[in-house]
Amino acid sequence: MADSSQKKKVALATLGCKVNQFESAAFLSAFSERDVEMVPFAQKADVYVINTCAVTAKAGAQSRQMIRKALRANPEARLVVTGCYAQIGSQDIMEIVEQPLCIIGNGFKQNLVDAALSEQHCDLEMLMGDISRQKEVCPLEVKSFGERTRAYLKVQDGCNSFCTYCIVPFTRGRSRSQVPDQVLKQARVFAEGGYQELVVTGIHTGTYGHDLEPRTDLVALMRQLLQECPLRYRISSLDPGEISEELLALMAEESNLMPHLHIPLQSGDNDILKKMHRHYTREDFADLIKRTRKVLPDAAIGVDVMAGFPGEDERAFRNTYELLSGLSVTYLHVFPYSKRAGTVAAGMTDQILKKDKEERVAALRELDGRKKKEFYAAHLGEVREVLAEQGSCRKVSDMKGFTDNYIPVTFAPPLEVANKVVKVRLERLGEDGVAGTMVEGGAE
């Protein structure tokens, strides 16, 4: 083996969603099998890989910043750019980079490591392609998800919804599912690697299996995972219409399927929902939350909400605020509408002023803080299962983790319980969660 000082140094930066993080973990797994040295992105490297995001204008700007950062660190380095911003902004990228670079589309990520380490220049046409014609999930395998105790399990890619504010269908292509056998294979790799919890994720996870032959769905996949690879599972974001009675019943029946749902609302005003091309009403959403609470009374329910979509006047915003205020939800993921070139909403004439968006975002984030505190307080005194993680706690003796229903907990157990499921009594509210005490004999 070559001396480490002679090895090619590779740095990787990842922006954006869980799917990007899964794919970057696959890159790291592949690099680990090659004779290279992985270094922090801030250090000088021979190869810089940037897995970009384009979900908002800010994400696109951050992607460009990372490219410039790599160029400053080593102008002679090989630069490899992939991800959603690379898919739609390749011309913009080439305008800010003078030296040869490699741009790899989302449909060709399986070629990234070979391209990054090749002595040949990249064939841009071969490595970009037309993402809309992609029929299968890009074949990537993750061996390790770093030092985390949980890993992301990608089961699906792409989206067919074409919401008027969203660029993702143009960067990720149409919805396509990973076949169950491959999902099980990846889950087993994680299990063998000691991971205790998997987050089942995709670009539009709720459409899983609709494109497969024979057709299947997310509930069938979860049943198979729970039976054949019995780890703890969480399901990432699902649209309101994708949360069936069957799924709720499965979550109530299976202790290894965490009582935690993340449901995009985006707006609580029916006129704005129509403009967004969202296929539900505020009444549908309210009914779903109430039905979910009946089946899963302790569940964490997170909600995506957007402030300042074109045409959102004070009445429409008030409809959103009052709907969320009156519903039994746990936390809000709040973000301002971001104008994305190439989307229908970008061409709408009734854009909202920045200061109005900021005021609405602030009001919703204040509501988010109150909702979380109310949910945490309601569970004080309970003993709940927590996956113990070593993390950035203020005291070295402290550990952190999340309860089954996604309450962040800090507690002080013996160090040997790291990456184990333990029982913790929730005792008092803290700044960002709950402080607790591990129950004696609570390690599993």
Summarize pLDDT for 238-282 with one digit per residue, the tens.
999 999 999 999 999 999 999 999 999 999 999 999 999 999 999
Lowest mean pLDDT segment, chosen from 93-97, 162-166, 345-349: 93-97
* pLDDT (0 to 100) of residue 93: 85
Place of tokens 């160029």: 71
Question: What sign results for the dihedral spanned by CA atoms 190, 247, 206, 371?
Answer: negative
Of 105, 204, 215, 108, the residue nearest 156 (C-alpha): 204
431 pLDDT band (50/70/90 cuts)?
A: confident
* pLDDT (0 to 100) of residue 416: 81
Residues of the chain with CATH 2.40.50.140: 383-438
The answer to whether 177 touches 186, Cβ cutoff 8 Å, is: no
Q: Quick check: helix, strand or coil at residue 157?
A: strand
Paired strand residues for 176: 157
CATH node for 150-378: 3.80.30.20
- The domain 7-129 belongs to what CATH superfamily? Response regulator (3.40.50.2300)
Residue 61 in this model has a pLDDT that exceeds 70:
yes
CATH node for 383-438: 2.40.50.140
Instruction: Report pTM.
Output: 0.91
Residue 99 in this model has a pLDDT that exceeds 90:
no
Q: Quick check: helix, strand or coil at residue 306?
A: strand
Mean of the per-residue pLDDT values of the chain: 92
Residue 396 in this model has a pLDDT that exceeds 50:
no
Residues of the chain with CATH 3.40.50.2300: 7-129
